[in-house]
């Protein structure tokens, strides 16, 4: 397959990038062995490769198949290891019971001295049997695990060999400079650099290895991202101004080197959005970068949400109506998006669109239309613009949104406090109920997920559930008063913290959570 004299340099770099993508995938599989990572890698190959644009070479096809086979092997191996551990623990449990003396000797007649000697003999024999069995079970477990580990070593080594064979064939057929090929050591250092929490140190670690990553565009995005963090970090105010152009330069390098190998390319979309965030809103590149971000993101709602905010900043409100409707219809960030879309409908005087939205998200979850008594939110003040369309007063809109969020917190806090009062009444009345504990724990777990930013509330919730369990379990004839008091103190702390918490819930989830709270003590 002689291609070397026919291909331009750009095409050779494209082939090296395809090889490096495979190398990165293999590196992540070997380094993490995490089930989430394995599933992401499989998804990326099976459903996210752009087959039209990806380099079509038999060697690349073979290594991609080998990656998929390895992922399947590691998933099966994880299940086998779990069964080996469970079997070992069960054997140990059986061995412990086997070491307990024969109950018959304890109830048999005879002299006390003879009885004591018999028990001691049985305990001694049982202990020796337990130790022997434990060592035997441990040996069997180690042997089974080694058999799996041996197959894993063979599988991963075969994967490495397949990658090397692919690199050899591609280098022979395309004759690209070997400096474009990433090694395991380079990828290991790159991965370690990305984990560096300090943006300045992360940038330095990435910057010194820039020459090695000429054929790996994602590197330039992460380098630009580190520079942007430095630019926006007050900690580095004395040097941060220098990093704005550095970030723009790195993002530009990404776009120059990027090939559309993925159907949904979140890295490319993020690069476009971060790049435009550093430009003046009147810069001619902003609109172009925004459209590219949407193209790369496809169905990724995180990027679509950011594009909506950028369009609003550019006053392209008509362009965001369809994306907002799509996200609301699919349950993505409904609370925020319904407020934005509601305001747009009000500003445009679109009563039909507003009423449709009101039926979808609920009348209490969007700003009130002018002279409308069907909403639970305060009526915002409007002024008439030069085009005779109502314009929402910004201060009143912010006030309405604040009241909406406060009402949400108030409703949740009221129902939660009522649930706690019912718990104390039931505990005094009939003592511990496993069913109540389970329902309350489910409510608290769900609440913790929704207020993930409030670590103090999460900690108090967890302490309260732990106290409820410890106070009630194994208690006969009701719960002790001091335990009830301890629970009440924790409950008061939770209640006070709740009053200061904003819950970023979609409207329908607010109702679901309140319903679960009401049912917890029924």
Q: Give the alpha-carbon dihedral of 217, 218, 223, 224, to 10 degrees.
A: 80
Asked if the structure places residue 205 within a domain, the reply is no
Contacts of 409 (CB under 8 A, 6+ apart): 498, 499, 501, 502, 503
| Shared domain check, 428 and 366 | no
Asked if the structure places residue 191 within a domain, the reply is no
Q: Which residues pair with 49 in a beta bridge?
A: 262
Distance CA 441, CA 454 (A): 18
| Shared domain check, 410 and 505 | yes
Tokens 């337990």 belong to residue: 130
Quote the Cα angle for 85-91-95, to 5°. 145
Show pLDDT as tens, one digit a residue, over the chain (522 residues).
455 556 788 888 999 989 988 888 888 888 766 777 788 888 888 888 888 889 999 998 898 898 888 888 888 887 777 777 777 777 766 665 555 555 554 444 555 555 455 545 555 555 556 566 667 777 777 777 777 778 777 887 888 888 888 889 898 888 888 999 999 899 889 988 988 999 999 999 999 999 999 999 999 999 999 999 999 888 898 998 999 999 999 999 999 999 999 888 889 999 999 999 898 878 889 889 988 988 888 878 888 888 888 888 788 888 889 999 998 888 888 878 888 898 899 888 899 999 999 888 887 778 777 655 444 343 343 333 444 333 444 555 556 556 666 776 777 777 777 777 777 666 665 555 566 677 777 777 777 776 656 677 777 778 887 777 765 554 444 445 556 666 777 777 777 777 776 665 555 566 667 777 777 666
Asked if the structure places residue 158 within a domain, the reply is yes
- Report how many domains make up the chain: 3
Asked if the structure places residue 192 within a domain, the reply is no
Tokens 């679109």 belong to residue: 350
| Shared domain check, 427 and 381 | no
Contacts of 18 (CB under 8 A, 6+ apart): 54, 55, 60, 261
Q: Give the alpha-carbon dihedral of 19, 20, 26, 27, to 10 degrees.
A: 160
| Shared domain check, 295 and 379 | yes
**Which is nearest to 300 in space by CA: 254, 262, 338, 341?**
262
Single residue among 351, 376, 398 that ends a domain in this structure: 398
Distance CA 221, CA 248 (A): 10
Its pTM stands at 0.60
| Shared domain check, 46 and 126 | yes
| Shared domain check, 341 and 417 | no
- What phi-psi label fits residue 349: left (phi over 0), alpha (psi between -120 and 50 degrees) or beta? left
Asked if the structure places residue 117 within a domain, the reply is yes
Asked if the structure places residue 1 within a domain, the reply is no
| Shared domain check, 136 and 259 | no
Number of continuous H segments (helices) and E segments (strands) in the chain: 20, 2
| Shared domain check, 429 and 380 | no
Single residue among 163, 180, 197 that ends a domain in this structure: 180
Buried b (16+ CB within 10 A) or exposed e, 394-431: eebbeebbeebeeebbebbbebbbebbebbeeebeeee
The dihedrals phi and psi of 385, each to the nearest 5 degrees, come to -85, 180
Q: Give the alpha-carbon dihedral of 214, 217, 219, 225, to 10 degrees.
A: 130
- Whole-number Cα distances in Å, 77 to 138, 141, 144, 155, 445: 19, 14, 11, 11, 31
* 175 CB neighbour count, 10 Å cutoff: 15
| Shared domain check, 362 and 253 | yes
Helices 301-313 & 266-277, crossing angle to 10 degrees?
20
| Shared domain check, 274 and 176 | no
Tokens 């609370």 belong to residue: 335
| Shared domain check, 423 and 354 | no
Tell me which residue range forms the domain holding 266. Answer: 213-398
Single residue among 363, 398, 433 that ends a domain in this structure: 398
Q: Which residues pair with 390 in a beta bridge?
A: 384
Asked if the structure places residue 441 within a domain, the reply is yes
- Direct distance between the N- and C-terminal alpha carbons of the chain, in angstroms, rounded to an integer: 74
**What are 10-42's pLDDT values in tens digits?**
888 999 989 988 888 888 888 766 777 788 888
- Whole-number Cα distances in Å, 133 to 97, 99, 139: 12, 10, 10
| Shared domain check, 427 and 302 | no
Contacts of 48 (CB under 8 A, 6+ apart): 262, 263, 264
Asked if the structure places residue 197 within a domain, the reply is no
């Amino acid at each position: 397959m002689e291609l070397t004299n026919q291909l331009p340099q750009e095409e050779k770099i494209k082939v090296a990038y395809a090889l490096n993508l495979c190398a990165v995938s293999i590196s992540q599989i070997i380094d993490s062995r995490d089930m989430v990572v394995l599933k992401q890698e499989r998804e990326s190959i099976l459903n996210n490769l752009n087959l039209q644009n990806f380099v079509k070479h038999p060697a690349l096809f073979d290594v991609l198949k080998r990656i998929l086979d390895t992922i399947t092997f590691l998933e099966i191996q994880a299940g086998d290891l779990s069964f080996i551990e469970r079997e070992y623990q069960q054997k140990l449990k059986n061995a412990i019971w086997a070491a307990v003396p024969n109950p018959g000797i304890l109830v048999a007649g005879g002299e006390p001295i003879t009885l004591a000697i018999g028990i001691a003999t049985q305990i001694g024999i049982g202990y020796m049997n337990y130790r022997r069995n434990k060592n035997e079970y441990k040996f069997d477990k180690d042997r089974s695990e080694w058999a799996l580990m041996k197959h894993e070593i063979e599988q991963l080594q075969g994967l490495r060999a397949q990658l090397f064979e692919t690199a050899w064939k591609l280098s022979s057929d395309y004759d690209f400079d070997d400096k474009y090929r990433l090694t395991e050591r380079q990828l290991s250092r790159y991965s370690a650099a990305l984990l560096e929490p300090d943006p300045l140190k992360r940038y330095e670690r990435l910057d010194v290895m820039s020459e090695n990553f000429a054929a790996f565009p994602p590197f330039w995005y992460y380098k630009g991202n580190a520079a942007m963090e430095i630019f926006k970090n007050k900690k580095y105010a004395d040097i941060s101004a220098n990093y704005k152009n550095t970030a723009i330069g790195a993002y530009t390098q990404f776009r120059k080197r990027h090939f559309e190998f993925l159907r949904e390319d979140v890295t490319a979309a993020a690069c476009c959005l971060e790049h435009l965030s550093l430009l003046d809103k009147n810069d001619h590149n902003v609109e172009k970068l925004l459209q590219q971000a949407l193209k790369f993101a496809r169905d990724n709602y995180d990027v679509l949400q950011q594009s909506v905010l950028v369009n609003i900043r550019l006053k392209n409100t008509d362009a965001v109506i369809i994306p907002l409707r799509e996200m609301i219809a699919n349950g993505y960030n409904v609370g925020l998006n319904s407020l934005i879309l509601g305001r747009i409908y009000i500003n445009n005087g679109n009563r039909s669109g507003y009423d449709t939205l009101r039926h979808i998200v609920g009348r209490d979850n969007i700003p009130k239309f002018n002279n409308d008594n069907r909403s639970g939110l305060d009526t915002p003040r409007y002024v008439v613009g030069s085009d005779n369309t109502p314009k929402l007063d910004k201060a009143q809109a912010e006030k309405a949104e604040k009241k909406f969020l406060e009402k949400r917190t108030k409703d949740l806090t009221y129902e939660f406090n009522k649930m706690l009062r019912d718990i104390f009444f039931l505990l005094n009345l009939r003592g511990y109920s496993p069913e109540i504990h389970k329902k309350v724990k489910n409510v608290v777990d769900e609440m913790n997920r929704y207020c993930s930013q409030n670590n103090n509330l999460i900690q108090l919730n967890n302490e309260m559930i732990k106290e409820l369990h410890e106070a009630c379990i194994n208690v006969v004839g009701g719960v002790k008063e001091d335990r009830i008091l301890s629970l009440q103190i924790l409950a008061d702390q939770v209640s006070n913290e709740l009053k200061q918490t904003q819950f970023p819930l979609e409207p329908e989830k607010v109702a679901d959570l309140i319903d679960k709270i009401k049912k917890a003590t029924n």
